[in-house]
Structure 1
């Protein structure tokens, strides 16, 4: 019997942290789906209306993350290492923060995405967040470690896709005839969108470090 299997026998059965992480994961999926729908909306006023709804969901995510930290302070025995709980909560919260930050920039800058880059980034973000959702829900029983690893590998691959998309988008941007102000605004948005995928990869790395301890 491996050390990880032995450790799982003695893990606390309190599921409060899993419940909270799953709430965060579901909220992130809803945010990413809403973000993706907004990025595909050609009517800018409708797009902005959808994106403004993200703020409420980002606040909801903050509330659940805060509850995780409260529970961490109140529970001496936890189902996962305390540092892992803190790192995972922080990394998931970062995804919501940066997604909302990107949404605010799209609203404030009033970007008209003629090349489809916004929709492209939104699609990568949604796929990444859905993969995170699968991995987070699998942590509760920690039986399908290969499935969790598969999700994390997919997230890493999607982050590479986002890097490639950013390179291609900036190349088109700098070779276009748009004004300097418009160039700066679009560059800022696209770089922020790529950071969202970086944050997804950070969360996947935390999850991988957790399952390594119990494999």
Structure 2
């Protein structure tokens, strides 16, 4: 079943698409941040903060539009929640980048770079899913991939925690470094979980569409 939309209704989807475009931008910046030398992290973190602010503004634009029109292409509560979850997702990426700078970790494990790669892929898939809002079947295919990558992220998170607590990570056995690295690893896992939350809202939308 496909949605049939009037130009007025299309505006809500256009605003959602504009909001969603911030997600892969933020994910790419975070991936660069975890891979770059510590001296280059601050600039990337500041770019992430700007993207997060822009995403917040875009989310509010979606929410204002929902209140302005009598008919929307999506259930208004679903559209409102989707806009909120997307902005939250970018906020999580921003927070993760900020913490990496704040904790001043010199070396990050290779698996942290892999976590960032999963986040990039989830962001791409979320963007694709929202582009397919008019075609729930294609949207479901992207959502299934997000859930698959989320499972990979869970496994990677457990692997990283094991290495942190057995002393084999770059943090060694230094308690402050261990706490800091665990914080970063947990932050990145929360970024992946935030994409799963976006996917959950989209799954509800797909179900309503039939």
Normalised by the length of structure 2, the TM-score is 0.92
Corresponding residue SS for 2:21: helix
Partner of 2:209: 214
1:88 and 2:82 are equivalent in the alignment: yes
Partner of 2:26: 31
In the alignment, the residues of structure 1 paired with residue 50 and residue 82 of structure 2 have an alpha-carbon distance, to the nearest angstrom, of 22
Partner of 1:175: 166
Give ranges in structure 2 of 5+ residues lacking alignment. none
In the alignment, the residues of structure 1 paired with residue 35 and residue 183 of structure 2 have an alpha-carbon distance, to the nearest angstrom, of 19
Partner of 2:14: 19
In the alignment, the residues of structure 1 paired with residue 197 and residue 79 of structure 2 have an alpha-carbon distance, to the nearest angstrom, of 14
Matches within 5 A, 1:120-135: 120-135=114-129
Specify which of 48, 56, 72 is matched with residue 50 of structure 2. 56
Matches within 5 A, 1:1-215: 8-9=3-4, 11-14=5-8, 15-41=10-36, 43-139=37-133, 142-143=134-135, 145-176=136-167, 177-215=172-210
Do the aligned partners of 1:128 and 1:158 also contact (CA within 8 Å) in 2?
Answer: yes
Corresponding residue SS for 2:160: helix
Do the aligned partners of 1:13 and 1:79 also contact (CA within 8 Å) in 2?
Answer: no
CA RMSD of aligned residues (A): 1.5
In the alignment, the residues of structure 1 paired with residue 33 and residue 95 of structure 2 have an alpha-carbon distance, to the nearest angstrom, of 14
User: Residues 114 and 71 from structure 1, CA distance in 2 versus in 1: closer, same or farther, beyond 3 angstroms?
Assistant: closer
In the alignment, the residues of structure 2 paired with residue 114 and residue 94 of structure 1 have an alpha-carbon distance, to the nearest angstrom, of 25
Normalised by the length of structure 1, the TM-score is 0.90
Structure 1, residues 73-95: CA drift from partner, whole Å, max 9, x if none? 22222111011101111111111
Do the aligned partners of 2:82 and 2:198 also contact (CA within 8 Å) in 1?
Answer: yes
Displacement of 1:203 in angstroms is: 0.6
Corresponding residue SS for 1:53: helix
Displacement of 1:129 in angstroms is: 0.3
